[in-house]
């Protein structure tokens, strides 16, 4: 189990940040991703592997449409 | 096309070109009014001489159609049409469009070659290509 | 229309026009963003006069929309209707409006009593009119009265002349009228770029959601482009007053025309943002490439793109109208800004589009847009996934002068009514209004322009159509009120708010009606889960609407605030606010006006006007809690098919949030249980928001608040006291 934005989500062995964003369909271009508080830059989404019990926040920093 | 070609390996950072340009263009001793810029510290961009290469990107940036290519290939600003929006300054790929607080409109190198005449090492030279 | 035809037509107008009034003035020089003069025109008796703008009023209302609200407040009583001669149209750009260096600084704010809401409406629009009007010497233009025959009002800012012409003949539709009026007043080809025209169109006469088109001359394409003051039917007021066009000419725009206190700082801020946009826009919102339409596929991915009258939030055919498709339709390589210096340049154009229907069938035209709201409104929301239809519909809405958002939401509503046999061919005059029937929708649009057939009904907007169907055709009021997407009489803009309580409030609590320009909190709330408690949501519903009001006080566009972000924005405390850009705005205001505000004072400036507008609603007979309630369609599933389409999600909500076991319940029972829960939540939200804003339980700003803000005009206090004792 992992936490994404304080909500539970199923964990899959080997999943990367990129996979997670795809699963969630988070296609917004400007995301702020942190794993256990640590900022993950966009270039690292593909190579950053998520571990079980990780606490992930994916912030869409926009309050305007 | 006419443009000012640079060879940074020859530049001794004497700034003679800047003084000449400011003088030729604006009759001013203020070197910050020069279209060519010499950096004592190459900085992040790793650059000593910065000057317009007449690429023409800014022509398509300017919505006022104030920038055009003259017959000799040099990119020119028509000050009458310019509204001083500075978009061409922000969008120049080499950051070679200049501004100064004394002028509302930007200015740039027009490849007149005055500076090249003063350069003691031939670090800058006027070139013609087709 | 080719050039010779246009020349002929202009010649005819020249022959037929008659000068009714001419007024000469000495254009005021702008001082730090203000001319301190307002141009008042009464078109009933052709009075034209110059009014001072007192310091005190600038302090309280800042400018733009604030000034507009103040003038309108003084012109109407609680009984004034939108089509009374007393109603005004006020246009004002605000002090920052007109600078040429910082992106998004050329907006005009238009204020009037709305035909659809009956209350005060404001609309924010690009195009060159506002700044050119200010450079001509006027902080605001205030138009009152009603003309007898069609008129054109003309301001020449160099000569200092205002003229009113009677122009009984000639076209009304904007794409032709804007060109002809420009031709009429331009003394040379070169002058065209210094003219901006406001016009509406035929459908603005026959529907209640008419728009105003504000033009700017596109030097590359050599056409007048049109930007819309879209919401709430101000174009309808315009045509009802028999105004055909208002034109302004000002030659000589320069970088310092707004005469700011400190141009150097403005130039630095502008240049920095230009560079930011150049570097990052292509990886962020792609505004320069495709404008707001980049949102189509994003909204579809997040289940937020309205489909079939907001029933669903995504559709398998959405890819047919997404930004990749649209990018191929619009001209690339020359992004356009709607005012000088907007390097964000979200304005797009389709060139040489050959019209397939209507009076201009076969003509090749330039079409502005399509923007996200239009794609979603006339497209997905109506179940139409055809980019050419969207472009054609966009064109006709613009030139006929109607709002694509209200048109889309109304059409989607009608289609759902039709599919539920509430409407039938007898009522529609044979038109089969099923979801996805683009020919039918287009036919209704053309009828709206002529004021014939079913177009007359469709042009009334959702609220009035609901009443008509209930009263005349015995439709079920509960169902219609559930699916009719309007609050306060204004149609919803195009986002599905079902999963975001904060956004349900953002829409239904908005002063003028459900437009997202006050608050767009869906990501913060539903996706990021950043504002979980009622207090958090209330704080967001306090800050963002107030903050965003500020753009409208100053003639600014919202997009360069957060549709481009500095690369280190994520390191800031509150990335959603884009702190660096907020700081830019504080500095911009100070550099223009020479004042010394900070972010807190900035919020106060907005709070003054925001609360004044709330009390204005009260004055007009609205502005209380009962007018802040959303239709259930914006909160949860109304129908069984809607519930079943996202059953897993809703069942989970019943279990985890409502605390009931969905397994033993019928779908109808589940819908009821969810509905009851959601309205209770909404009620709690409203309590929290009112409290945070300093309003009483009925949504009325308190006397203390208005005193604290310095907005305690006697009439304001009297109104509040009357309503609070009830
Ligand atoms: S100013 Fe910049 S963009 Fe324009 S021609 Fe010179 S190098 Fe190119
Ligand atoms: S500053 Fe002048 S030349 Fe440059 S883009 Fe703006 S209007 Fe054109
Ligand atoms: S971002 Fe778009 S709407 Fe806003 S000012 Fe620029 S061009 Fe106009």
Count Cα atoms within 13 angstroms, Cβ side, for C10. 18
Asked whether residue C515 is domain-assigned, the answer is yes
Asked whether residue C74 is domain-assigned, the answer is yes
Query: Of C171, C67, C68, C56, whose CA–CA distance to C114 is shortest?
Result: C68
Please classify residue C33 by burial: count the beta carbons closer than 10 Å to its beta carbon, then call 0-12 exposed, 13-18 middle and 19+ buried.
buried
Please classify residue A51 by burial: count the beta carbons closer than 10 Å to its beta carbon, then call 0-12 exposed, 13-18 middle and 19+ buried.
exposed
Rounded distance from Cα B93 to ligand 1 centre (Å): 7
**CB contacts, 8 Å: C336 with chain B:** 63
Count contacts between B and C (CB, < 8 Å): 61
Question: Which helix (H) or strand (E) is C88 found in, with range?
Answer: strand C88-92
Assess whether C455 and C559 both reside in one domain: no
CB neighbour burial string for C469-501, b if at least 16 within 10 angstroms, e if fewer: bbeeeebeeebbbbbbbbbbbbbbbbbbbbbbb
Nearest residue in chain A measured CA to CA from C282? A29
CB C225 within 8 A of CB C366: yes
Tokens representing C581? Answer: 């850009």
Neighbours of chain A (3+ CB pairs under 8 A): C
Assess whether C55 and C107 both reside in one domain: yes
Assess whether C386 and C343 both reside in one domain: yes
Assess whether C452 and C524 both reside in one domain: no
Interface touch A65/C522, C-beta < 8 Å? yes
Rounded distance from Cα C522 to ligand 3 centre (Å): 23
CB C557 within 8 A of CB C551: yes
Tokens representing A51? Answer: 């571990």
CB C177 within 8 A of CB C195: no
Interface touch A60/C523, C-beta < 8 Å? yes
Rounded distance from Cα C525 to ligand 2 centre (Å): 41
Assess whether C129 and C237 both reside in one domain: yes
Residue C532's CATH number: 1.10.599.10
Place of tokens 């027009």: B110
CB C402 within 8 A of CB C209: yes
SS3 C413: helix
What domain count does chain B have?
Answer: 1
Query: Distance (Å, rounded) from C-alpha C330 to C-alpha C316?
Result: 23
Q: What's chain B look like in SS3?
A: CEEEEECHHHCCCCCHHHHHHHHHHHCCCCHHHCCCEECCCCCCCCCCEECCCCCCHHHHHCCCCCEEECCCCCEEECCCCCCCCCHHHHHCCCCCCECCCCCCCCECCCCCCHHHHHCCCCCEEEEECC
Assess whether C164 and C232 both reside in one domain: yes
Interface touch A59/C297, C-beta < 8 Å? no
Strand ranges inside C482-558, DSSP E: 486-487, 490-491
What domain count does chain C have?
Answer: 3
Instruction: Note whether C290 contacts A: Cβ–Cβ < 8 A.
Output: no
CB C233 within 8 A of CB C116: yes
Asked whether residue B44 is domain-assigned, the answer is yes
Query: Of C55, C121, C65, whose CA–CA distance to C555 is shortest?
Result: C65
Query: Distance (Å, rounded) from C-alpha B2 to C-alpha C471?
Result: 78
Assess whether C474 and C620 both reside in one domain: no
Neighbours of B85 (CB within 10 A): 33
Interface touch C558/A32, C-beta < 8 Å? no
C125 lines ligand 3 (CB under 6 A): no
Tokens representing C159? Answer: 């000569």
**CB contacts, 8 Å: A61 with chain C:** 565, 569-570, 575-576, 578
Assess whether C409 and C531 both reside in one domain: no
CB C232 within 8 A of CB C204: no
Tokens representing C255? Answer: 């970088």
Query: Distance (Å, rounded) from C-alpha C600 to C-alpha B6?
Result: 51
Query: Distance (Å, rounded) from C-alpha B74 to C-alpha C455?
Result: 57
pLDDT at residue A61 in the model: 81
Nearest to B86 among C254, C270, C336 (CB): C270
Question: Which helix (H) or strand (E) is C125 found in, with range?
Answer: strand C120-125
pLDDT at residue C447 in the model: 98
pLDDT at residue C334 in the model: 74
**CB contacts, 8 Å: B91 with chain C:** 274, 278, 343
Interface touch C274/B90, C-beta < 8 Å? yes
Rounded distance from Cα B117 to ligand 1 centre (Å): 22
Residue of C135, C217, C274 to mutate when probing chain B, most B C-beta within 10 A: C274
Query: Distance (Å, rounded) from C-alpha C102 to C-alpha C266?
Result: 7
Query: Distance (Å, rounded) from C-alpha B2 to C-alpha A48?
Result: 50
Its domain, for residue C427, covers: 285-491
Instruction: Note whether A30 contacts C: Cβ–Cβ < 8 A.
Output: yes
Asked whether residue B120 is domain-assigned, the answer is yes
Nearest residue in chain B measured CA to CA from C334? B60
Asked whether residue B20 is domain-assigned, the answer is yes
**pLDDT per 10-residue tile (average), chain A, 65 residues:** 93 94 91 94 94 94 70
Instruction: Note whether A44 contacts C: Cβ–Cβ < 8 A.
Output: no
Query: Distance (Å, rounded) from C-alpha C471 to C-alpha C181?
Result: 44
Ligand 1 site residues (CB inside 6 A) read: B 52-58, 75, 92, 94, 96-97, 108
Residues of chain B with pLDDT under 50: none
**CB contacts, 8 Å: C298 with chain A:** 27-28
pLDDT at residue B27 in the model: 96
Query: Of C234, C559, C245, whose CA–CA distance to C406 is shortest?
Result: C234
Assess whether C532 and C654 both reside in one domain: yes
CB C519 within 8 A of CB C541: yes
Evaluate whether chains A and B are touching (3 or more beta carbon pairs less than 8 Å apart).
Answer: no
CB C469 within 8 A of CB C451: no
Per-residue pLDDT of B4-14, as tens digits, reads: 999 999 999 99
Interface touch A63/C301, C-beta < 8 Å? no
Residue C475's CATH number: 1.10.569.10
Ligand 3 atom showing the smallest separation from residue C342 Cα: 6
Asked whether residue B107 is domain-assigned, the answer is yes
Instruction: Note whether C714 contacts A: Cβ–Cβ < 8 A.
Output: no
Give A13 to chain C, closest Cα distance, Å. Answer: 24
Q: Considering just the CA atoms, what is the radius of gyration of chain C in Å?
A: 24
Residue B61's CATH number: 3.30.70.20
Residue of C288, C298, C552 to mutate when probing chain A, most A C-beta within 10 A: C298
pLDDT at residue C15 in the model: 82
Residues of chain C with pLDDT under 70: 1-3, 725-726
Residue C31: CB partners within 8 Å, gap ≥ 6? Answer: C259
- The domains found in chain A, sorted by start residue, are 2-59 (3.10.20.30)
Residue C99's CATH number: 3.60.9.10
Assess whether C223 and C366 both reside in one domain: no
Question: Which helix (H) or strand (E) is B23 found in, with range?
Answer: helix B16-26
Helix ranges restricted to H, C477-598: 477-483, 501-508, 522, 534-554, 559-562, 579-593
Query: Distance (Å, rounded) from C-alpha C146 to C-alpha C366?
Result: 32
Asked whether residue C148 is domain-assigned, the answer is yes
- CA angle, residues C637, C389, C301, in degrees to nearest 5: 40
Interface touch B83/C278, C-beta < 8 Å? no
Residue of C190, C219, C267, C339 to mutate when probing chain B, most B C-beta within 10 A: C267
pLDDT at residue A64 in the model: 64
Tokens representing C45? Answer: 């008796």
CB C76 within 8 A of CB C44: no
ipTM of this predicted complex?
A: 0.96
Instruction: Note whether C533 contacts A: Cβ–Cβ < 8 A.
Output: no
**CB contacts, 8 Å: C275 with chain B:** 90
Assess whether C337 and C382 both reside in one domain: yes
**CB contacts, 8 Å: C256 with chain B:** 84, 104
B85 lines ligand 2 (CB under 6 A): yes
Neighbours of A13 (CB within 10 A): 8
Asked whether residue B130 is domain-assigned, the answer is no
Interface touch C340/B86, C-beta < 8 Å? no
Q: Which ligand is nearest to the CA of C348?
A: 3
Instruction: Note whether C576 contacts A: Cβ–Cβ < 8 A.
Output: yes
Its domain, for residue B21, covers: 2-125
Assess whether C424 and C361 both reside in one domain: yes
Query: Distance (Å, rounded) from C-alpha C552 to C-alpha C687?
Result: 27
């Amino acid at each position: 189990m992992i936490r994404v934005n304080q909500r539970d989500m199923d964990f899959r062995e080997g999943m990367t940040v990129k996979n997670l964003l795809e699963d969630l369909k988070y296609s917004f271009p400007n995301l702020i991703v942190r794993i256990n508080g640590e900022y993950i830059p966009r270039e690292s989404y593909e190579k950053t592997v998520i571990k079980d019990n990780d606490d992930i926040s994916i912030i869409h920093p926009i309050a305007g449409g | 096309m006419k443009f000012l070609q640079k060879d940074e390996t020859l530049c001794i950072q004497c700034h003679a070109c800047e003084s000449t340009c400011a003088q030729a263009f604006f009759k001013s001793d203020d070197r910050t009014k020069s279209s060519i810029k010499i950096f004592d510290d190459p900085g992040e961009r790793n650059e000593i001489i910065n000057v317009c290469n007449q690429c023409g990107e800014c022509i398509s940036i300017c919505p006022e159609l104030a920038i055009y290519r003259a017959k000799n290939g040099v990119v020119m600003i028509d000050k009458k049409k310019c509204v001083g929006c500075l978009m061409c300054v922000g969008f120049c790929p080499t950051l070679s469009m200049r501004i100064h607080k004394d002028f509302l409109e930007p200015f740039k190198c027009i490849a007149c070659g005055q500076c090249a005449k003063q350069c003691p090492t031939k670090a800058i030279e006027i070139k013609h290509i087709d | 229309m080719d050039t010779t035809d246009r020349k002929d037509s202009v010649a005819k107008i020249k022959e037929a026009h008659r000068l009714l009034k001419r007024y000469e003035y000495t254009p005021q020089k702008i001082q730090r963003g203000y001319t301190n003069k307002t141009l008042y025109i009464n078109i009933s008796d052709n009075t034209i006069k110059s009014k001072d703008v007192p310091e005190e009023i600038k302090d309280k209302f800042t400018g733009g929309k604030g000034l507009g609200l103040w003038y309108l407040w003084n012109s109407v009583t609680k009984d004034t209707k939108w089509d009374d001669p007393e109603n005004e149209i006020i246009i004002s750009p605000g002090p920052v409006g007109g600078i040429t260096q910082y992106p998004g600084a050329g907006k005009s704010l238009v204020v009037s009593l709305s035909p659809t809401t009956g209350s005060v409406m404001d609309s924010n629009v690009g195009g060159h009119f506002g700044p050119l009007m200010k450079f001509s010497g006027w902080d605001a233009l205030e138009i009152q009265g009603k003309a007898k025959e069609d008129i054109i009002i003309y301001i020449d800012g160099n000569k200092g002349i205002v003229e009113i012409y009677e122009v009984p003949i000639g076209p009304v539709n904007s794409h032709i009228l804007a060109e002809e009026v420009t031709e009429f007043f331009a003394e040379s080809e070169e002058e065209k770029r210094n003219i901006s025209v406001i016009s509406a169109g035929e459908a603005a006469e026959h529907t209640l959601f008419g728009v105003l088109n504000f033009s700017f001359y596109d030097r590359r394409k050599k056409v007048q482009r049109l930007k819309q003051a879209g919401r709430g039917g101000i174009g309808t007021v315009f045509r009802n007053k028999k105004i055909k066009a208002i034109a302004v000419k000002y030659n000589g725009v320069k970088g310092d025309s707004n005469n700011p206190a400190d141009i150097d700082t403005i130039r630095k801020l502008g240049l920095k943002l230009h560079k930011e946009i150049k570097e990052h826009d292509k990886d962020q919102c792609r505004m320069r490439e495709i404008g707001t339409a980049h949102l189509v596929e994003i909204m579809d991915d997040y289940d937020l793109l309205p489909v079939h009258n907001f029933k669903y939030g995504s559709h398998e055919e959405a890819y047919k109208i997404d930004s990749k498709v649209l990018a191929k339709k619009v001209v690339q390589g020359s992004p356009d800004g709607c005012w000088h210096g907007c390097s964000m340049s979200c304005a797009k154009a389709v060139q040489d589009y050959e019209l397939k229907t209507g009076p201009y069938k076969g003509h090749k035209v330039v079409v502005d847009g399509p923007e996200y709201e239009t794609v979603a409104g006339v497209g997905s929301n109506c179940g139409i996934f055809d980019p050419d239809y969207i472009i054609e519909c966009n064109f006709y809405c613009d030139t006929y002068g109607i709002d694509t958002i209200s048109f889309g939401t109304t059409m989607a509503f009608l289609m759902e009514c039709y599919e539920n046999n509430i409407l039938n061919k007898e009522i529609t005059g044979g038109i089969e209004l099923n979801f996805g029937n683009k020919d039918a929708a287009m036919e209704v649009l053309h009828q709206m322009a002529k004021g014939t057939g079913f177009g007359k009904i469709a042009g009334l907007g959702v609220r009035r159509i609901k009443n008509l169907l209930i009263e005349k055709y015995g439709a079920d009021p509960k169902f219609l009120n559930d699916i009719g997407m309007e609050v306060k009489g204004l149609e919803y803009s195009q986002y599905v708010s079902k999963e975001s309580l904060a956004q349900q409030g953002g829409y239904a609590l908005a002063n003028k009606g459900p437009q997202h320009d006050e608050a767009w909190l869906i990501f913060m709330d539903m996706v990021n889960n950043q504002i979980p408690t009622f207090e958090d949501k209330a704080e967001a519903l306090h800050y963002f609407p107030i903050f965003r009001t500020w753009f409208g006080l100053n003639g600014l566009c919202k997009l360069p605030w957060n549709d481009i972000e500095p690369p280190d924005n994520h390191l800031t405390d509150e990335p959603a606010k884009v702190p660096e850009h907020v700081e830019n705005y504080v500095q911009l205001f100070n550099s223009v006006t020479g004042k010394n505000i900070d972010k807190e004072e900035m919020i106060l400036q907005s709070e003054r006007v925001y609360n004044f507008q709330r009390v204005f609603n009260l004055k007009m007979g609205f502005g209380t809690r009962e007018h802040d309630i959303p239709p259930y369609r914006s909160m949860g599933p109304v129908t069984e098919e809607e519930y079943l389409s996202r059953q897993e999600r809703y069942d989970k909500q019943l279990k985890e949030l409502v605390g009931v076991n969905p397994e033993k319940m019928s779908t109808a029972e589940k819908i009821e249980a969810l509905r009851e829960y959601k309205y209770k939540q909404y009620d709690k939200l409203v309590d929290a928001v009112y409290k945070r804003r300093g309003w009483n339980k009925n949504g009325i700003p308190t006397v203390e608040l208005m005193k604290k803000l310095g907005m305690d005009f006697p009439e304001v206090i009297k109104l509040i006291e009357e309503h609070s004792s009830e």
